[in-house]
């Protein structure tokens, strides 16, 4: 058992160099700041510092940095071993994927068949695909039992999977969304672009700029619906700044976008992603 003087702990943990290295360690090892702080303290007093620190000096600061690097080196060494293991797909799992997908109630709820399942798994990094497949098919407990991972290691793997999905969300969205979903999103994006164009400088924007943008998007029904509320449509683009029904057009276009956003949210809820 490690006994650390309370005064020493206060000196170390209160220093900026310790706080900075805790943040770096938490980020690189995908763990919480609290866990990173405890690991760094233990590493410091196991191998680098004596229990007699009364003030921070250069040597102590360097020890903190080196201790953090030691922990990172250990983490990446273990990670390399895990990834080598993860890419070695389990034959039994692969042979029974179709059956496991068809009988998995969680996947059924989201209407994920064998083809969709394989597509989802294929979008992740090759070192993560086995972990993702096994987790989706068998759950956390069975996955940990198979990989012999502690809860901490499991959570670190899951964090890397989530981070990969976030940083590659464009690829996931393109591959997983249906043409109808993409159309809904395109119309919402077009309305956003129109408002950005208009709001950038509403009193100086020219009639031609507004008319050209509308003409290039008039086949999208939200723009057509917004135009339908205008009684004298020709005047809207001939005198964009002065025509009073401009407000009616903008209000209806905003309403149409809200309908789109509600529909997009509804379909996301149905899909579960």
- Encode the chain (273 residues) as per-residue pLDDT tens digits: 445 567 778 888 888 999 999 999 888 887 778 878 888 888 887 776 766 677 888 888 888 898 888 888 888 877 676 555 554 545 556 566 677 777 777 777 766 777 778 888 888 877 788 888 888 888 889 888 888 888 888 888 888 888 788 777 777 777 776 667 778 888 999 998 888 877 766 666 777 888 888 888 888 889 888 888 888 877 877 877 777 888 888 899 999 999 999 888 887 776 655
Note the pTM of the prediction, 2 decimals. Answer: 0.42
Q: Cβ-count burial of 18 within 10 angstroms (0-12 exposed, 13-18 middle, 19+ buried)? A: buried
Reduced to 3 states, what is the DSSP secondary structure of residue 97? Answer: helix
């Amino acid at each position: 058992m490690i006994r650390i003087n309370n005064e020493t702990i206060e000196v170390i943990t209160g220093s900026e160099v310790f706080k900075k290295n805790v943040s770096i360690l938490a980020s690189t090892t995908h763990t919480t700041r609290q866990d990173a702080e405890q690991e760094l303290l233990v590493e410091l007093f196991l191998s680098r510092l004596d229990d007699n620190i009364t003030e921070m000096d250069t040597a102590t600061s360097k020890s903190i940095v080196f201790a953090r690097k030691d922990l990172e080196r250990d983490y990446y060494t273990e990670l390399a071993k895990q990834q080598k293991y993860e890419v070695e797909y389990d034959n039994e799992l692969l042979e029974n994927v179709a059956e496991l997908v068809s009988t998995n109630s969680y996947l059924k709820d989201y209407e994920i068949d064998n083809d969709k399942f394989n597509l989802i798994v294929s979008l992740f990094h090759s070192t993560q695909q086995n972990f993702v497949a096994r987790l989706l098919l068998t759950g956390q407990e069975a996955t940990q039992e198979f990989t012999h991972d502690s809860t901490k290691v499991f959570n670190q793997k899951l964090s890397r999977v989530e981070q990969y999905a976030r940083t590659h969300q464009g690829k996931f969205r393109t591959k997983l969304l249906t043409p109808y979903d993409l159309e809904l999103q395109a119309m919402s994006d077009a309305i956003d672009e129109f408002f950005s164009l208009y709001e950038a400088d509403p009193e100086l924007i020219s009639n031609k700029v507004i008319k050209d943008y509308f003409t290039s998007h008039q086949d999208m029904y939200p723009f057509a619906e917004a135009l339908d509320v205008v009684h004298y449509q020709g005047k809207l683009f001939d005198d964009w700044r002065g025509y009073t029904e401009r407000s009616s057009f903008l209000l209806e276009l905003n309403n149409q976008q809200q309908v789109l956003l509600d529909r997009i949210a509804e379909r996301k809820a149905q899909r579960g992603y």
